[in-house]
């Protein structure tokens, strides 16, 4: 069963995401969302009887390693690279980004 998105549904989703869409974008996204859900329905319709479920999608071989302590940069050396350090507190001072 194909799912068809209407322009109103796309505009409602865009409003939730605080997006302003042009009429062309609304039409494009309605078509793309419908195609995507149609494809998802096709994938769900595949008969997987007798297929053993996969426990892990990706192999953990080589990806996981134990945590090991290693020397790090001394505080004074790190602060030497800062444009405006607060040495007595051991902090980097950065410009304010949230008003």
CATH number of the CATH domain containing 29: 1.10.20
Whether 91 maps to a domain, the answer reads: no
Whether 1 maps to a domain, the answer reads: no
Q: What is the C-alpha to C-alpha distance for residues 25 and 20, in angstroms, rounded to an integer?
A: 9
Range of the domain at 29: 7-44
Whether 25 maps to a domain, the answer reads: yes
pTM here is: 0.49
Whether 95 maps to a domain, the answer reads: no
Helix (H) or strand (E) holding 29: helix 23-44
- Look at residue 84 in the predicted model and tell me its pLDDT: 87
Per-residue pLDDT reduced to its tens digit, 34-87? 999 999 999 999 999 998 887 776 666 666 677 889 998 888 888 888 888 888
Per-residue pLDDT reduced to its tens digit, 7-32? 999 999 999 999 999 999 999 999 99
Rg of the chain on CA atoms, in Å: 26
Whether 75 maps to a domain, the answer reads: no
From first CA to last CA, the distance across the chain in angstroms is 49
Number of independent structural domains in the chain: 1
Whether 15 maps to a domain, the answer reads: yes
Paired with 86 in beta bridges are 91
């Amino acid at each position: 069963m194909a799912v068809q998105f209407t322009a109103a549904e796309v505009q409602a989703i865009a409003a939730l995401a605080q997006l302003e869409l042009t009429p062309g974008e609304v039409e494009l996204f309605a078509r793309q969302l419908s195609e995507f859900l149609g494809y998802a329905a096709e994938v769900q319709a595949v008969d997987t009887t007798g297929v053993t479920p996969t426990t892990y999608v990706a192999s953990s071989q080589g990806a996981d390693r134990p945590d090991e302590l290693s020397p790090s940069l001394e505080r004074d050396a790190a602060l030497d690279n800062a444009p405006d350090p607060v040495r007595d507190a051991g902090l980097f001072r950065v410009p304010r980004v949230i008003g």
